[in-house]
Structure 1
């Protein structure tokens, strides 16, 4: 079971998360960051430079500008580009363009799932089918109705929807959305994913430094719970 931890904002948090046993570390970045916690491209690059080769470097962007995405990738150099903006803003053909410009880059496409809405009234399965030919991973995450971006809500959704998506595709799926050390084993039991992701539940309740937000005890508990599920 792969364990992915977001949002890494500093070298210190990266070291903490790696030492806690995470397989993937996620860093959100932008040319001109507009969201709290998103780093500049140069800051993200410095974090990734200390990550060992056996830990996957996931770079998250919400940009919808393909040229800007390619330019930023040349600076940050993640192993995997996590597309987490409006899914309909970047078509599969545009993702092919990104991959052509960036040798060996893998794509993690976020698949949005809404809480409290049945599968038949969501587009998640359609998105998975549409994007599977250009995706190396799917990140199935809760989406807020009020935001264009996918994820960072801290809210769970129906894990049976995750199960349906996972069973519909050969793309490795990582599940996210309000997962914690208390509920991750049940989410894994229901959906049988490739991996699990945590952001909000592994943060300090009241971080003293907004660049160092990951609580080592919570990260270790999450990793342990996922690996023992």
Structure 2
């Protein structure tokens, strides 16, 4: 908790995104020590157990972000993989929790419309799906937003 609070003070953020699992009670401690700061917890959607994880953590956070990744690997994948995950599980999470849910993980111009229509997220987190050679690609961004409008 101390490191998160110190980083927050250096950056002056109004929202903190946690990409790894925290020890039980840590979210509550952060909320107490950082009043008015929003907490976003990333849930790495690997299987049906992600639903219960999201339900439990939703009681202590302001938002959930569903992403691809794998915390169980020797070197943890905590996002930025460019891979999609099982949106059926993501949809179940959206339906099961009472906090807004963002969807991430391999979202690009080709699948954005399906992702939004199927999962019904509060918002979308974009990264690799709108980049070319590691840089934001204006053409891909325009394509993505045009698909959303159609």
TM-score normalised per structure 1: 0.60
Q: State the partner residue of 2:18.
A: 83
User: Hey, what's the Cα distance between the residues in 2 that align with 1:222 and 1:164?
Assistant: 25
Aligned residue pairs total 148
Q: What residue number does 1:216 align with?
A: 138
SS at match of 1:161: helix
- 1:177 pairs with 2:99: no
Question: Whole-Å Cα distance in 1 between the matches of residues 63 and 128 of structure 2?
Answer: 21
Q: What is the 5 A alignment of 1:151-162?
A: 151-162=79-90
Higher relative contact order (CA 8 A, sep 6+): 1
Q: Does 1:166 align with 2:101?
A: no
1:96 paired residue number: 28
Contact 2:69 2:81 in 1 (8 A): yes
Q: CA deviation at 1:218?
A: 1.9
Deviation at 1:94, TM superposition (A): 1.1
- Unpaired stretches in structure 1, ≥5 consecutive residues: 1-65, 208-212
Residue aligned with 2:9, SS: helix
Gapped regions of structure 2 (runs ≥ 5): none
Structure 1 contact 92–130 (Cα < 8 Å) conserved: no
Per-residue CA shift, 1:6-51, capped at 9, x if unaligned? xxxxxxxxxxxxxxxxxxxxxxxxxxxxxxxxxxxxxxxxxxxxxx
1:177 aligned counterpart, secondary structure: coil
